[in-house]
């Protein structure tokens, strides 16, 4: 397996924001617990997949990091059917994609955005920067 720099040569960061429908917070929380467990069990590539709620419990933000555009595409294919569970619980208001996703992933993200509230999908191309990760401790 290659180094972190090799595997993160074209990382994708996706941040999506949703408004939680009134009275649906507990259902959303239960659903995201299941979604996170599903992603962790079925997808090896995402570097991070984190879900945040504001203090009032009215907004949810999903932040995910993929090492490459293909990882994002696989995530949308594998987890896509699970997103339907949230259609009556929240309204997706914005999706920001940092990096260059492939056309297939972009099409899948727009379909997800339409399903969950017709949110805009905004792509931000990298101008300059780098990625680092701490070396994992040696096993044994």
Let me know: does 76 contact 108? Beta carbons within 8 Å. Answer: yes
- Terminal-residue alpha carbon distance, the chain: 19
With CA atoms as reference, report the closest residue to 89 among 54, 116, 57, 118: 116
Instruction: Tell me the CATH architecture of domain 9-124.
Output: 2-Layer Sandwich (3.30)
Which pLDDT value is given to residue 133?
67
Question: From the CB of residue 139, how many other CB atoms can be counted at a distance below 10 Å?
Answer: 4
Enumerate the domain spans of the chain: 9-124
Which pLDDT value is given to residue 132?
78
Which pLDDT value is given to residue 129?
87
The helix (H) or strand (E) run that includes residue 98 is strand 90-98
Which pLDDT value is given to residue 134?
55
Per run of 10 residues, the mean pLDDT along the chain (length 140 residues) is 54 97 97 95 95 98 96 94 93 96 93 93 92 57
Residues 6+ apart with CB under 8 A from 104: 73
Let me know: does 59 contact 90? Beta carbons within 8 Å. Answer: no
Evaluated on CA atoms 108, 101, 99, 126, the torsion sign reads: negative
Q: Say which DSSP state 70 is in.
A: H
Full-model pTM: 0.86
Let me know: does 98 contact 12? Beta carbons within 8 Å. Answer: yes
Question: From the CB of residue 17, how many other CB atoms can be counted at a distance below 10 Å?
Answer: 19
């Amino acid at each position: 397996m290659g180094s972190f720099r090799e595997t993160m040569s074209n990382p994708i960061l996706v941040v999506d924001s949703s408004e939680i429908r009134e009275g649906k917070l507990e259902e959303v929380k239960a659903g995201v617990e299941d979604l996170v467990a599903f992603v962790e069990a079925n997808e090896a590539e995402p570097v991070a997949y984190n879900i945040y709620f504001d203090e009032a419990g009215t907004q949810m933000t999903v932040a995910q990091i993929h090492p490459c555009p293909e990882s994002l595409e696989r995530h949308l294919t594998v987890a896509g059917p699970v997103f339907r569970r949230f259609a009556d619980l929240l309204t997706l208001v914005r999706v920001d994609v940092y990096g260059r996703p492939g056309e297939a992933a972009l099409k899948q993200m727009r379909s997800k955005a339409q399903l969950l509230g017709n949110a805009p999908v905004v792509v931000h191309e990298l101008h300059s920067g780098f990625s680092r990760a701490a070396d994992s401790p040696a096993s044994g």
